[in-house]
Structure 1
Amino acid sequence: MNSMHAPASQQDLSLDEFWMPFTANRQFKDRPRLLESAEGMYYTDVEGRQVIDGTSGLWCCNAGHGRKEIAEAVSKQIAKMDFAPTFQMGHPLPFQLAERLVEIAPEGLNRVFFTNSGSESVDTALKIALAYHRARGEGTRTRLIGRELGYHGVGFGGISVGGMVNNRKAFGVQLPGVDHLPHTLDLERNAFTRGLPKHGVEYADHLERLVNLHGAENIAAVIVEPMSGSAGVILPPQGYLKRLREITEKHGILLIFDEVITGFGRVGSPFASQRWEVTPDIMTTAKGLTNGAIPMGAVFASDQIQDAFMHGPDGIIELFHGYTYSGHPVAAAAALATLDIYARDGLLTRIRDLEIYWQEGLHSLQGLPNVIDIRNTGMVGAVHLASRDGAPGKRGYDVFEGCFWNGLMVRNSGDIIAMAPPLIVEKSHIDQIINTLGDVIRRTP
C-alpha cells in the first residue's frame, strides 16, 4: 500500500501490526470500530456513519473536535521550530504556558512541571513528593498511599498507587511501601444519588488507621482522584475530600489530586479542587490541557514545595527528573490555543448551566432493565448495570458496542457505562445521548 494515501475503507487496511492499548485485540479485529474524522460533537467512521461523542474522545477533547485555532497554532509552530530542549536550555512557550495555567489554577499552586501524559504526571508528582521530604530532612517519609479503584496511569508508580486490579496483577512487580484507602462506591447507601453522595465521608478516616499503623513520619503522600473516572465515575461523598485534607495537614503528609480527568472544566470549574473547595499540595493534569490534540501533561505544585529544592550552589541541578519532550514547543502551542478557546467560550464553567439537564436526562433511565445505579456530577455520568451470572463485564460491553453501531460513543468499565461529552454539548445532544443509550439498554438482555 502506498503510505502517502489513507485507505479508502477498512477493507484496504491491515489490522495485524498495531498492538492496540487497553483493547481486546482479537475481539476488536473481528468487528473493527474505525473512526476517520471528527468535527464538533461528532465523529465520522470509515464507512461514513456519524457517531456522537459521548466521551470527549478519551476524557480529553473538552472543547469538541476540529478546532481550527489549535490546528493553525500547531502548524505555525512546527514550521517555525519543531523542537527545542528544555534541559539547561529553554524557549518562550512553556514559560508563557505555565503563567497562563497558574492564572486558572487553585490558589497557591503556582509552579508547573511539564510532562507528556497523565501517567508521566503521576510519576512526576510521586517523585517530587518523595524528593521534597528528603530535601527537608525527612527522608523516612517514603510510603505512598493510593486508593482502591483509583486509576493513576500505567507507569510503575501509577499502577502501584492505583487500585484497579487488572492494571496491576499481570506485572507482578510494584513499588514497595504502598497502601490503599478503601474506595467510596457504596451502592447500598448511595444508589441513584444526584450529585455527590451523602454517605461515606468516614471512608477518609481510614487514613488515620494507616498513620497509626506506619507512623506519620514514614508517609510521604496520599494520591486520589477527586472523582475516579476510569473506574466508572466513582464520586467523593460530601465532605470526604475536606476530611482527607484535614488529616494530611495534621500529619505533614502531602495531598496529591490526580485531575487528569476532572481538570479543565469537566465538573464545572477549571479544576475539581476549586468546585469542591479543597486545595491539594500537588495536582496532576493532562488530557484537556491540549484538547487531546498533542500529548502533554502538567504537574502543579506550590512555591513552598519548589523552594525546598532551591538550596546549595546555584549550578547544581535541583531535581534530577524530566522528559525529552517536557515543554515541547508544538504541544505548548496547542495548549495555549486551547486555553484561548476555553477562555473565549467560557467552557471551564459552562456546564454549570447544563448539569441539571444532564442529571435529569441520566436519571430518567432509572427503572430500565438491569440498571442498578446512576451517578453524575458536572458533565460526567455513569449508568451501572447488573452483571450477568458468570460473565462480569459482558453486558457492559454489549451496551457499549450496541451504542456505537447506533451512533453513540460511550465507554464501559466492566458493567459500568461512563459518559463525559465535550463541554460544547447542547441540550439536543444530551437528548440524543440519553435516548440512544436508553434504547440500547432496553434491547440488551
Structure 2
Amino acid sequence: MPFTANRDFKHNPRLFVKAEGVYYTTADGQEILDGTSGLWCSNAGHCRISIVDAIKKQSAILDFAPSFQIGSPLSFEFAERLIHMKEGFSHVFFTNSGSESVDTALKIALAYQYSRGSGTRTKFIARERSYHGVNFGGISIGGIAANRKQFNNLLNGVYHICDTHNIKHNAYSKGEPEWGIHLADDLERLVVLHDPSTIAAVIVEPLAGSTGVLIPPKGYLSRLREICDVHDILLIFDEVITGFGRLGTAFASDYFAVRPDIFTTAKGITNGTVPMGAVFCRNGIYEAFMDAPESAIELFHGYTCSGHPLACAAGLATIELYQNEGLFTRSAELAHYFQEAVHSLKGSRYVVDIRNLGMVAGIELESVHNKPTVRALEAFKQCYNKGLLVRATGDTIALSPPLIIEKNQIDFIVDVISMVLRNIS
C-alpha cells in the first residue's frame, strides 16, 4: 500500500466502502467526516451527481481514444476551458497524476530551453522540505529525506534552497507569516554559485502541503519571481494541492498575485473522481517548440491516457460544478471561520505551532523523543476512531476539508482533535 505502514494497517484495517458529501462510510458502517478532501483532491465533496452522470454518459459514448497522432474533441474542449481560467496561459499538457505533472513540467522546461538555443540550462533549483510527487524527477527535486533515501539513482544537477519553516519567528501565524522574505535570497546565492546560464528552472510549491503545511512569508514568492526574471530562469509552481479553490481563488498564483511560467495541477481538477493532471504553460512556451518541420514531433513526451475521455468529462463537470456553486468564493468566505476555529487549539497539549491559509491548516505536535511521526500517527488513528479523517504528515496534523463543509462540521473537526490531544501520549 502506498505511504502506509503495511503491517500496522493489516492489524486493524481502515476501509471505506461509500462516500457522499463530506462523509465517508467504513466497512462496519461508521460515518467519518472527511477533514482532508480525500487526499487534498475532493474539493467539491464526494459522489457529486453531476460529475458521476458525466462519467457514466461518456463511458457509454467513447471509453478511450489514443492520444498519439489522434485526439478526441473533449480533450480540446477541456483544455480550452482550463486556459480560460488563467489569463496569460495558452496551452496545457494532460497527465494522469500530480507526480506525472511535475515530471512533465521539468521535461517541458528542459525542452523549452533547448528549443530556444539555451541547451546549457539543464539544472533545477528546488526547496528543502518540499514534496513534488514520487516519480524520479519529483523525488530528485523534492526535499523530504525519507522519500529519497531508499532510491540512489536520482537526477543530477538539482540544488535546494532553504525552506521557510521557522517556529521561533512565526509560531501561530494566521495566514502569511510576517518574517522570512529574506529567505528567498538563498535562491540568488545558488544562482550565482552555479551560474545562471546553466539553470533551467526553479520549482516550488506556493504553499507546501504534504511536508507539513508550510505557509510562505509575505513577499517571499514575489522575490523568487524577481530573481528568476533577472536571470532569465523559468519559475514553476507546483499547484497540485493548491489548485482549484483551496485558497479561495482558482490557483495559488492568483491568491499571491505572482505569475509562474509553468504550473502543475492534478487532484481537484476532476474532484478526485478520475486520475488526471494538467501542466499549464504561459504564452510563448508552446510557440518556442514550433520552429520545426510541420510533420515533426515537437515534444517527445506523453502518456497512454493523456487527455483520457472519462477524465476530460469528469473535469468539465467538475469545473462547471465549482463555478455553478461558487465554491472558490465560498472557500474564501469560510477561511476566516476555519482559521479562528483551528487556532482555538493553541495551548492544547503537545501543540507547538498552528499554521493556516485559505482552507488548509497544519497543527504541529511536539515529537516523542527519538520517535518522530509517532504522536501524529496516533492522533490520526484516534481521530478516525472518533469519526474524523485527518492527515498525519511528519508530526503535523494536516487539514484540508471539502469546500462544501459547513461551520458546524468545522466545529466538529476542532472538537475531535481537542479531545484526541487530551488523550494521546
What is the TM-score when the length of structure 1 is the normalising length? Answer: 0.95
- Letter of the aligned partner of 2:279 in structure 1? V
Tell me if 1:147 matches 2:149.
no
- Letter of the aligned partner of 2:100 in structure 1? E
Aligned with 1:324: secondary structure? coil
How far apart in 2 are the matches of 1:363 and 1:110?
A: 40
Tell me if 1:344 matches 2:324.
yes
Aligned with 1:349: secondary structure? helix
The match for 2:349 is 369
Tell me if 1:31 matches 2:12.
yes
The match for 1:274 is 254
Aligned with 2:392: secondary structure? strand
- Could you list the runs of 5+ residues in structure 2 that have no partner in the other structure? none
How far apart in 1 are the matches of 2:372 and 2:306?
A: 40
- Measure how far apart 1:349 and its partner are: 2.4
The match for 1:235 is 215
How far apart in 1 are the matches of 2:131 and 2:372?
A: 20
Alignment map for 1:190-229 (pairs within 5 Å): 190-229=170-209
How far apart in 1 are the matches of 2:371 and 2:299?
A: 48
Tell me if 1:78 matches 2:84.
no
Which of residues 50, 53, 66 in structure 1 aligns to 2:34? 53
The match for 2:400 is 420
Aligned with 1:412: secondary structure? strand
How far apart in 1 are the matches of 2:329 and 2:67?
A: 33
The match for 1:109 is 89
The match for 2:74 is 93
- Measure how far apart 1:352 and its partner are: 1.2
Aligned with 1:110: secondary structure? strand
Q: Deviations over 1:207-235 (max 9, x none)?
A: 11111111100000000000000001001
Q: Deviations over 1:354-381 (max 9, x none)?
A: 1111011011000011100000000001
How far apart in 2 are the matches of 1:72 and 1:360?
A: 37
- Could you list the runs of 5+ residues in structure 1 that have no partner in the other structure? 1-19
Alignment map for 1:201-350 (pairs within 5 Å): 201-350=181-330
Moved over 3 A (4+): none
Which of residues 30, 45, 49 in structure 2 aligns to 1:68? 49
Which of residues 25, 44, 60 in structure 2 aligns to 1:44? 25
Q: Deviations over 1:257-292 (max 9, x none)?
A: 000000000011000000010010000000000000
Which of residues 332, 342, 355 in structure 1 aligns to 2:335? 355
Which of residues 387, 392, 403 in structure 1 aligns to 2:383? 403
How far apart in 1 are the matches of 2:119 and 2:293?
A: 21
How far apart in 2 are the matches of 1:108 and 1:311?
A: 21
How far apart in 1 are the matches of 2:394 and 2:198?
A: 36
- Letter of the aligned partner of 1:203 in structure 2? L
Deviates more, 1:290-299 or 1:205-214: 205-214
How far apart in 1 are the matches of 2:349 and 2:309?
A: 50
Q: Give the count of matched residue pairs.
A: 425
- Report if the CA contact (8 A) 1:52-1:407 is conserved: yes
- Letter of the aligned partner of 2:274 in structure 1? I
Which of residues 91, 94, 102 in structure 2 aligns to 1:122? 102
Q: Among the aligned pairs, what percent are the same residue?
A: 58
- Measure how far apart 1:203 and its partner are: 1.0
Aligned with 2:336: secondary structure? helix
How far apart in 2 are the matches of 1:324 and 1:247?
A: 37
